[in-house]
Amino acid sequence: MGDYEPDVADLPTAQITEAKGALNGVSNSESGVLYRQIRQTPLNIVSGRGSYLITDTGLEILDATCGAAVSCLGHNDKRVHEAIQEQLQKVSYCYSVFFTNSAMERLSKFLVDSTGGKMSRAFITASGTEAVEASLKMAVQYFMELPTPQPQRVNFIARKQSYHGNTLGSLSVGHHVGRRALFEKVLAKNVSHVSQCYPYRDMKPDETVECYVGRLAQELEDEFQRLGPDTVCAFVAETMAGATLGCMPPLPGYLKAMKEVCQRHGALLILDEVMSGMGRTGTLHAWEQEDVVPDLQTIAKGLGGGYAPIAGLLINQHVVDTLTKGTGAFAHSLTYQGHPVSCAAAYRVQKIIQEDNLLPNVLEMGAYLSQLLHEKLDDHPHVGDIRGRGLFWAIEFVKDKQTKEPYPPSQGVAWAVHASGLKPEHAISFIPGNGGIDGINGDHVCLAPAYNTTRAEIELIVDRVTRVIQDVLGQ
Ligand SMILES: *Cc1c(COP(=O)(O)O)cnc(C)c1O
């Protein structure tokens, strides 16, 4: 889950030792696993129950983030287990190049219907990264197969401080200076990046939302002009910025303004909802709150709730029509595409979200989470900004609240908060993020509780968050 990996290598020694201690840091040369931090052994999770993860030493960790905003129903829902069992007894795998299967059909129909028919087909993959890669290839193919092909459309525009996946193609579209650095020379050269919508730091004190949005749209327009407007294939953006920038919802009118720029020049709009979609923000699709419909949309994390690896690309009717009249085939396929067991699991997860009426709960508990975070932390001298939507919230830390000066990256503040949370006396898991300002500076943690979370659990989360922050950053 590379979008929030802390860079332990950058931390001063004392903090590394502390972080390692909190992570149970026994060096384990017997392990066959290449851990993310190769010299450390992370906590070993042996079971999960509701919003808790349980380690082999019996520590019950409050999973306040569903991992990477994945386990939206919490852990161990027997109804999903049954759906998986049932599918296993029918068929566990068939190759999508030759066959379809009922589980994939059912899930795809559900997904298409859930958009009110605005997206007309689904391409089911096994990971969010794969869905993003598929969206980029689909966009290129679309322009090749228009009645008058536009093969010159080879450029993508995306946003700074964004995350779109970790393979070379998706990493090229994403933007995080630190994460890209090692691979910069092998990343695609046909991608450029415009500013994020980040009012806390980038909106001027005397600027209205309208002016700020207009300025961002102008920046996109200028980038189209710089590249040559008819050379741009697509603009790629997370509907709501996720772990890299830290839960930044789009300002009113922002995505609409960006889409207008794309339409003016005939480019596609790709919305990456891998993290923010499938209910996380209170509507099944995050774009439903924005008065825009994307041409291509990626979904993943909450789709299968972690019960199986699954993701998807949703495709707008006009793109499907173009390919149908063109070659009649998407020039892309994957071995585990439309995997029946994953599809059965995801379909059941989605039905549970409906049956248990969880989207209203996301909105209600999200409002409660927001209220409590503001009550407890607004006055903290090192909490600069609290922002989010639905059950997806970030707390940005600053060294100086007045000037918004961030902590030096070498202090690894977000990572220290995360590590402290995992200590037995706190037992809560966050998603830490750094580099949100410019790829190097900036610290935040994200919260993303399960959709079926309760008022009591929200209170417990905010209690623990507050204590951890006081522990690490003072009162
Ligand atoms: C997590 C994420 C991805 C990558 O998904 P994987 O399943 O980790 O491959 C892509 N885009 C966004 C916005 C994400 O948050």
Per-residue pLDDT reduced to its tens digit, 201-245 = 999 999 999 999 999 999 999 999 999 999 999 999 999 999 999
Residue 311 CA, closest ligand 1 atom number: 7
Helix (H) / strand (E) containing 358? helix 358-377
The pLDDT tens digits for 88-134 are 999 999 999 999 999 999 999 999 999 999 999 999 999 999 999 99
Examine the pLDDT at 194 and tell me if it is beyond 60. yes
Radius of gyration for the chain, computed over Cα atoms and rounded to the nearest angstrom: 22
Distance between CA 432 and CA 434 in Å, rounded? Answer: 7
Chain centroid offset of residue 209 CA: 25
Using CA positions, which residue lies closest to atom 7 of ligand 1?
Answer: 128
**What is the residue with the minimal CA distance to atom 15 of ligand 1?**
275
What's residue 27's pLDDT? 55
Q: What is the pLDDT of residues 252-296, one digit of tens each?
A: 999 999 999 999 999 999 999 999 999 999 999 999 999 899 999
What secondary structure letter does DSSP report for 68? H
**pLDDT confidence of residue 28:** 61
DSSP state, 156? Answer: E
- CA of 129 from ligand 1 middle (Å) equals 5
Q: Regarding beta strands 311-316 and 296-299, do their DSSP bridges make them parallel or antiparallel, or are they unpaired?
A: antiparallel
Phi and psi angles of residue 240, each rounded to the nearest 5 degrees, phi first:
-125, 125
pLDDT at 373: 98
**Domains along the chain with CATH numbers:** 13-76+357-473 (3.90.1150.10), 78-355 (3.40.640.10)
Residue 1 CA: nearest ligand 1 atom is 8
CB under 6 Å to ligand 1: residues? 1, 3, 68, 127-129, 132, 163-165, 238, 242-243, 272, 274-275, 300, 311
pLDDT of residue 179: 82
Backbone φ and ψ of 34, nearest 5°: -85, 95
Q: Which residues pair with 387 in a beta bridge?
A: 394
Whether 7 has a pLDDT exceeding 80, the answer reads no
Q: What residue's CA is closest to ligand 1, atom 5? A: 128
Give the C-alpha separation, 251 to 254, whole Å: 5
Q: What is the mean pLDDT of residues 176-186?
A: 89
Residue 94 tokens, joined = 């068939």
Task: Write out the E strands in 35-112.
Answer: 45-49, 52-55, 60-63
Cβ 199 vs Cβ 250: under 8 Å: no
Instruction: Using the predicted structure, report yes or no on whether residue 405 has a pLDDT greater than 60.
Output: yes
* pLDDT above 90: percentage of residues in the chain: 90
Helix, strand and coil percent figures for the chain, each rounded to 5: 40, 20, 40
Residue with the smallest CA separation from ligand 1 atom 10 is 164
Distance 424 CA to ligand 1 centre (A): 29
pLDDT at position 14: 40
Predicted confidence (pLDDT) at residue 191 exceeds the cutoff of 90: yes
Instruction: Indicate the pTM of the whole model.
Output: 0.94
Q: What is the pLDDT of residues 37-71, one digit of tens each?
A: 898 899 999 999 999 999 999 999 999 999 999 99
The whole-number pLDDT of residue 400 equals: 97
Distances in Å between the Cα of 61 and the Cα atoms of 119, 159, 161, 421 are: 39, 34, 29, 9
